[in-house]
Amino acid sequence: MEHGQAAVGTRSRWYDGLTAMHWRVLRASFLGWIFDGYEALALVVVLGPMLHSVLSPAQAASPTIYAGLVIGITLLGWGAGGLIGGILADYVGRKRMMLWSVFLYAVLSGLTAFSQTFWTLCALRFLTGLAMGSEWSTGIALLSETWPEQARAKGAGFLQSGFGWGTLIAAVVWYALSSTHPLGAETWRLMFVLGALPAFFVLYIRRGVNESEKWQRAVREKRWSATNAQPGADAAQAAGKRPFTLAQLFSEREALRRTLILLVLSIVTTVGWWAISSWLPTFTVALAKAEGLPDALSWGSKVSISYTVGAIVAYLLAGFIVDAIGRRAFLSLTFVGSLLTTFITYRLTSSVEAMMIVAPINGFFTLGCAYVWMAIYPCELFNVTVRSTAISFVFNAARLIAWVFPIVAGSMIKSFGGVSQAALALGSVYLIGIVLPWFLPETRGSGMPD
């Protein structure tokens, strides 16, 4: 009897059934997302010295304009590349797109180190974003189609944490480089040389990861419908040419409804996160200066790291929480937490000491929970032959809207009357996110649609 009880207890563990191949898929996708996180923050932390090197004397008279341009152009490339790569992954396979995405953005990141003019820098940043944009959606699709049901949400959360770890690595590397200045004023170039290292990772992916069998089988059987809401669509479509996956998201009624709701939720996440995270260091530095603290600028970096640590904790826990309370409740409570912590951060926090406590809680909701749902939930709402297209569209279409924010940031702060007021105004978008999830189907325990 005791042996039987022990066996039942053993079978109830979430990681039962995971094989070496499952863990290799996670490691491959996780490491790729670490490199993305590193690349994203590397651009931000070296922005000052980088612009000092590449701007002409005339351009240097307006540094904020060019800072916004280079960040915005990178985001534009990232969004466009993610959308294109996600679509291609539904045609040529998840593994192949991961290989090309990682390899190309690694090479282009390395070439960024040799930029001599601002416009060369922008071109390379756009191409780097274009290349690395699809790494996330292909990794998520591959993991979701290979991991068993009881572990899938946890694995997706672990994968998503790679971005947070990547930003932390970038922060630590830049701290070390900026403290030692091995190349003097040109030390920033080393950050992008290190960004080229993922090229070696391509060899690991090729050797250690298999293609998604579910995707291969669905393509062979010509199962083209976007959702399970139209069970007869496959038979009708199999006789003709395969529909364009992106068009399917808007031509099938239920797919359209799900796509639009998820897109609005993604925009809510992106707009809220952009306002909270990008202005948090500036707001914290202002608090430090008001308190008369020495080295006030250092508090901006400290609070960014604290904020990111909170997000990493959310990534690691999210899969367990979402399996316990359901997808819709998780989403709704995420935006409740985001709204409350944003109000606490920008209205009730008046010292850097308090901010160091509040920031990780804010990061837990506005960066961690607010993004990890995209790695778990949309995969469960679309069939396998359009899955990569759907999740990449939901994730990247919001970026194609948000890329203008860095360019107009200064004007927005001025219009709202300060950083605090601007953050609170944009943070009110979380109200939409509290309500919308309840118009989507609950998928907890229902498995992945084929």
Q: What is the separation, in whole angstroms, between the first and last Cα of the chain?
A: 39
pLDDT at residue 443 in the model: 93
Residue bearing the bigger pLDDT, 65 or 252: 252
Contact status, residue 344 vs residue 189, Cβ threshold 8 Å: no
Percent of the chain with pLDDT over 90: 50
pLDDT greater than 60 at residue 446:
yes
Looking at residue 275, its amino acid is A
pLDDT greater than 70 at residue 406:
no
Contact status, residue 124 vs residue 111, Cβ threshold 8 Å: yes
Residue 174 in tokens: 């830049």
pLDDT at residue 54 in the model: 93
How do residues 158-189 score in pLDDT, each as one tens digit?
999 998 898 888 888 888 898 888 999 899 99
How do residues 315-353 score in pLDDT, each as one tens digit?
999 999 999 999 999 999 999 999 999 999 999 999 999
Query: Counting beta carbons within 10 angstroms of the beta carbon of residue 426, is it exposed (0 to 12), middle (13 to 18) or buried (19 or more)?
Result: buried
Query: Counting beta carbons within 10 angstroms of the beta carbon of residue 200, is it exposed (0 to 12), middle (13 to 18) or buried (19 or more)?
Result: exposed
- Give me the helix-helix angle, 20-45 and 135-146, nearest 10°: 160
pLDDT at residue 7 in the model: 42
The overall longest dimension of the chain from CA atoms, in Å, is 82
Distance CA 230, CA 244 (A): 17
**Across 381-396, average pLDDT:** 94
| Cα 115 to Cα 125, 217, 303, distances in angstroms | 10, 45, 30
DSSP symbol at 369? I
pLDDT at residue 296 in the model: 84
DSSP per residue, 110-146: HHHTT--SHHHHHHHHHHHHHHHTTHHHHHHHHHHHH
Lowest average pLDDT, out of 121-130, 132-141, 228-237, goes to 228-237
pLDDT at residue 238 in the model: 55
CATH superfamily to which 21-210 belongs: MFS general substrate transporter like domains (1.20.1250.20)
Looking at residue 47, its amino acid is L
pLDDT greater than 70 at residue 205:
yes
Q: What is the mean pLDDT of the chain?
A: 87
pLDDT at residue 3 in the model: 46
pLDDT at residue 1 in the model: 44
**Residue spans per domain, the chain:** 21-210, 225-450
pLDDT at residue 202 in the model: 76
pLDDT at residue 182 in the model: 92
DSSP symbol at 379? G
Query: Counting beta carbons within 10 angstroms of the beta carbon of residue 411, is it exposed (0 to 12), middle (13 to 18) or buried (19 or more)?
Result: exposed
**Across 272-295, average pLDDT:** 86
Residue bearing the bigger pLDDT, 150 or 207: 150
pLDDT-derived band at 355, boundaries 50, 70, 90: very high
**Span 225-450 CATH architecture:** Up-down Bundle (1.20)
Contact status, residue 369 vs residue 330, Cβ threshold 8 Å: yes
Nearest to 115 by CA among 175, 167, 73: 73
Distance CA 366, CA 371 (A): 8
How do residues 357-367 score in pLDDT, each as one tens digit?
999 999 999 99
pLDDT at residue 4 in the model: 43
| Secondary-structure breakdown of the chain: helix, strand, coil percentages, each rounded to the nearest 5 | 80, 0, 20
Q: Which residue has the tokens 């539904």?
A: 90
